[in-house]
C-alpha cells in the first residue's frame, strides 16, 4: 500500500485511493430478489414461543423445524432450575473456565454427562459449535489425516480450517468410500481420525456408525461422532447414536450440544480422561472464550436428569415423528429416507422451495427452506422436525398445509 513521490519539490507519502472495505458489502442478490418478491423466509422474529406454536406479527404459527426435540425448553422444572441459578450466580461466568469462570455446576454437569454417554470424562463448551470445532482443530493436529462425511456440519469443516488440518471427504454415510480414501492414504505419515454424525442435520439420516467404525478400526483410525441431534433422541435412554448401535466403546469421542434435546445452549465433548484433559488445556475455543453461564448449565443439567428418568418424552416424540413421516409419505412426498425427528421434504428447485415456504406461511405453518449451497442444485427442501411439544391439532394443520401447497405447486400429484 502507498508509494513515495515528490509533489511540489517535497517528498511525501502519496497513498493509493482508499478503498472502502465495506462499500460492496451487501446481502447476496438472491436475498434482495426474494425480499422484493415477498418470498424471503429467514429471520422471522417471534414475539412469543409456546413450544409447538409461536407468535409472529400477531399471528400464531405451528413451528416446525425446531431442535427442541423433547419439548424441554418449556418444562417448568428446567425453567425453575435456570431461575434458581440466576439468583445464585447472576447471568455471566465473567471469565474463561481456565481462569475465573469454572463453577461447581460445570463440573457436576460434566460428570453426569460423562456417565450418561458412557465415557470417562466430559468437557462443557459455551456453544456446540465450539466443541465440535475443537474436536477437529485440537484433536486433528497438523500431522493427522482427517476424514469427513460429505454432510458433516459446518462447525467441523471450520474446525479443520482453524488448525490447517488435512481434511478429506467421503461420500455421505458411505463406509466403502471412506475405505477407498484410507487405502489411498496408506503410507502417509500421521494418525487418522474419522468424523461422522449420529443424526445429520439436513437429511435427518442416522449415521452409518457400525460400518464407519468397522472400517476405521481396520485402518487404525479414531472415530469422533457429532451427536448434536442424537443426544436425548437415540439410544435406549437417549444416550446417543453410539448407544443406539451398542458401540459405546467404539466411538472414541462423542460431541454434543445443549441447544437441542438438552433445552439450553452450549456443547460438550466426551471421551477418555486423557483426551479430555488434553482438550481442556489446549483447545482455543475453550480456553479463549467465557464459560457457559450458570442458568444454561443448570437448565441442561435438569433436562439431562429428566431425560434419564422420564423416557416418556422420547417415546412421545417418536410417536409424533412416526405419525408425520408416515402421513407425509402417504401424501407422496419424498423425505430423502430420513429416519429421525428431522424430516426434510424435497420440493425441487429454489423458486419452488420459496413458493412452498410462502404457501405454508399463509396456512400459518412456520417451516424454513434449505437452498443451495446448503443442498445440491435442484434438491431444495423444506426442513421440518417434529417434537414432543406438538399437539395432534398442530400436526394435522401441518399435514393439511403440506397437502394443499404440495398439490398447488405440483410437488405431489
Ligand atoms: N453440530 C451439528 C450437527 C449441528 O446441527 C449444530 C447446530 N445446529 C452444531 C453442531 C452446533 O451446535 P450449537 O448450535 O449448539 O452451537
| Pocket test residue of 153, 224, 229, 232 for ligand 1, highest count of atoms within 8 A of CB | 153
Question: What are the tens digits of pLDDT across the range 79-122?
Answer: 999 999 999 999 999 999 999 999 999 999 999 999 999 999 99
Say if residue 373 is preceded by a cis peptide, omega within 30 of 0: yes
Residue 226 CB less than 6 A away from ligand 1: yes
3-class SS at 216? helix
- Over residues 258-286, the mean pLDDT reads 97
The residues spanned by each domain of the chain are 36-65+311-408, 75-309
142 — pLDDT class (breaks 50, 70, 90): confident
Cα(92) to ligand 1 centroid in Å equals: 22
Compare 9 and 125 and report the one with higher pLDDT.
125
- C-alpha cell of 187? 503410507
Position 3 scores a pLDDT of 46
60: phi then psi, degrees, rounded to nearest 5: -90, 135
222 Cβ closer than 6 Å to some ligand 1 atom: no
**pLDDT of 4 over the 80 cut:** no
Active site residues: 201, 229, 260
CA of 327 to the centre of ligand 1 (A): 28
CA distance 135 to 123: 11
- Supply the pLDDT for residue 9: 53
**Is the ipTM reported for this complex over the cut 0.90?**
yes
CATH, domain range 75-309: 3.40.640.10
Q: Is the pLDDT of residue 242 over 90?
A: yes
> What is the residue-averaged pLDDT of the chain?
94
Q: Which atom of ligand 1 is nearest to the CA of 257?
A: 15
- Those residues whose C-beta lies under 8 Å from the C-beta of residue 116, and which sit 6 or more positions away, are 237, 239, 304, 308
Q: With cut-offs at 50, 70 and 90, classify the pLDDT of residue 10.
A: low
Q: Indicate whether residue 254 lines ligand 1 (CB < 6 A).
A: no
Atom of ligand 1 nearest to the CA of 197: 3
386 Cβ below 6 A of ligand 1 = no
User: pTM, whole model, 2 decimals?
Assistant: 0.94
- Kindly list the strands in the beta sheet with 342-348, ordered across the sheet, starting from the edge strand earlier in the chain: 342-348, 380-385, 368-370
pLDDT in tens, 28-62: 788 889 999 999 999 999 999 988 999 999 999 99
Q: Please, how many CA atoms are within 13 Å of residue 18, restricted to the half-sphere of its CB?
A: 3
Residues making up the chain, counted from first to last: 413
Q: How far is the CA of 250 from the centre of ligand 1 (A)?
A: 23
Compute the average pLDDT of residues 315-329.
Answer: 98
Give the burial string for 188-197 (b: 16+ CB within 10 Å, else e). eeeebbbbbb
Whether the per-residue pLDDT at 165 is higher than 80: the answer is no
Percentage of the chain with pLDDT > 90? 88
Say if ligand 1 is within 6 A of residue 132 CB: yes
> How far, CA to CA in Å, does 385 sit from each of 233, 296, 375?
13, 23, 17
For ligand 1, atom 15, name the residue with the nearest CA. 128
Is the CA virtual torsion 347, 404, 61, 265 positive or negative?
negative
| Ligand 1 in reach of 129 Cβ (< 6 A) | yes
Over residues 334-349, the pLDDT tens digits come to 999 999 999 999 999 9
The pLDDT, as a whole number, for residue 11 is 56
Q: Which residue has the higher pLDDT, 6 or 207?
A: 207
Which of 357, 352, 383 is CA-nearest to residue 370? 383
Q: Is the distance from the beta carbon of residue 127 to the nearest atom of ligand 1 less than 6 Å?
A: yes
Q: Note the pLDDT tens digit of each residue in 247-256.
A: 999 999 999 9
CA 6 to ligand 1 centroid distance, Å:
57
Atom of ligand 1 nearest to the CA of 200: 3
| Banded pLDDT at 12 (limits 50, 70, 90) | low
212 neighbors 224 (Cβ within 8 angstroms):
no
Predicted local distance difference test score (pLDDT) of residue 16: 77
- 381 C-alpha to ligand 1 centroid (Å): 19
As to burial, measured by CB atoms within 10 angstroms (0-12 exposed, 13-18 middle, 19+ buried), residue 334 is: middle
- Closest approach atom of ligand 1 to CA 199: 3
Dump strand ranges (E) for 171-266: 192-197, 222-226, 253-257
Radius of gyration in angstroms for the set of CA atoms belonging to the chain, rounded to a whole number = 24
pLDDT reading at 357 higher than 50? yes
pLDDT at 5: 47
Q: Does domain 36-65+311-408 have CATH number 3.90.1150.10?
A: yes
CA of 119 to the centre of ligand 1 (A): 21
Amino acid at each position: 500500500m502507498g508509494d513515495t513521490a515528490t509533489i511540489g519539490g517535497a517528498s511525501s507519502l502519496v497513498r493509493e485511493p482508499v478503498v472502502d472495505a465495506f462499500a460492496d458489502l451487501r446481502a447476496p442478490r438472491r436475498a434482495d430478489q426474494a425480499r422484493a418478491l415477498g418470498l424471503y423466509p429467514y429471520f422471522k422474529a417471534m414475539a412469543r414461543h409456546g413450544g409447538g406454536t409461536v407468535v409472529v406479527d400477531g399471528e400464531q404459527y405451528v413451528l416446525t423445524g425446531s431442535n427442541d426435540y423433547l419439548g424441554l425448553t418449556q418444562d417448568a422444572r428446567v425453567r425453575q432450575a435456570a431461575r434458581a441459578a440466576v439468583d445464585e450466580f447472576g447471568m455471566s461466568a465473567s471469565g474463561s473456565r481456565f481462569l475465573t469462570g469454572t463453577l461447581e455446576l460445570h463440573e457436576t454437569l460434566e460428570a453426569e454427562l460423562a456417565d450418561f454417554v458412557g465415557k470417562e470424562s466430559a468437557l462443557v463448551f459455551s456453544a456446540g459449535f465450539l466443541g465440535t470445532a475443537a474436536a477437529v482443530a485440537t484433536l486433528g493436529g497438523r500431522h493427522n489425516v482427517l476424514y469427513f462425511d460429505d454432510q458433516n456440519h459446518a462447525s467441523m469443516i471450520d474446525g479443520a480450517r482453524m488448525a490447517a488440518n488435512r481434511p478429506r471427504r467421503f461420500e455421505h454415510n458411505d463406509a466403502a468410500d471412506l475405505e477407498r480414501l484410507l487405502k489411498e492414504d496408506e503410507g502417509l505419515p500421521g494418525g487418522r481420525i474419522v468424523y461422522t454424525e449420529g443424526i445429520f442435520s439436513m437429511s435427518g439420516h442416522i449415521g452409518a456408525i457400525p460400518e464407519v467404525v468397522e472400517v476405521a478400526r481396520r485402518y487404525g483410525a479414531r472415530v469422533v461422532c457429532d451427536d448434536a441431534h442424537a443426544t436425548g433422541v437415540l439410544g435406549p435412554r437417549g444416550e446417543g447414536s453410539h448407544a443406539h448401535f451398542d458401540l459405546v466403546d467404539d466411538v472414541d469421542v462423542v460431541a454434543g450440544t445443549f441447544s437441542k434435546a438438552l433445552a439450553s445452549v452450549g456443547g460438550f465433548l466426551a471421551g477418555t480422561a486423557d483426551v479430555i484433559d488434553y482438550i481442556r488445556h489446549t483447545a482455543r475455543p475453550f480456553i479463549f472464550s467465557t464459560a457457559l453461564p450458570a442458568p444454561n448449565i443448570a437448565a441442561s443439567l435438569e433436562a439431562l436428569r429428566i431425560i434419564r428418568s422420564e423416557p416418556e418424552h422420547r417415546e412421545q416424540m417418536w410417536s409424533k415423528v412416526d405419525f408425520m413421516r408416515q402421513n407425509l409419505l402417504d401424501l407422496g412426498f419424498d423425505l430423502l429416507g430420513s429416519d429421525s425427528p428431522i424430516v426434510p421434504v424435497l420440493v425441487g428447485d429454489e423458486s419452488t422451495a420459496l413458493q412452498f415456504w410462502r404457501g405454508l406461511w399463509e396456512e400459518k405453518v412456520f417451516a424454513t427452506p434449505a437452498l443451495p449451497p446448503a443442498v445440491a442444485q435442484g434438491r431444495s427442501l423444506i426442513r421440518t422436525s417434529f417434537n414432543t411439544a406438538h399437539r395432534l391439532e398442530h400436526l394435522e394443520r401441518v399435514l393439511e398445509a403440506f397437502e394443499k401447497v404440495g398439490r398447488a405447486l405440483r410437488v405431489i400429484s
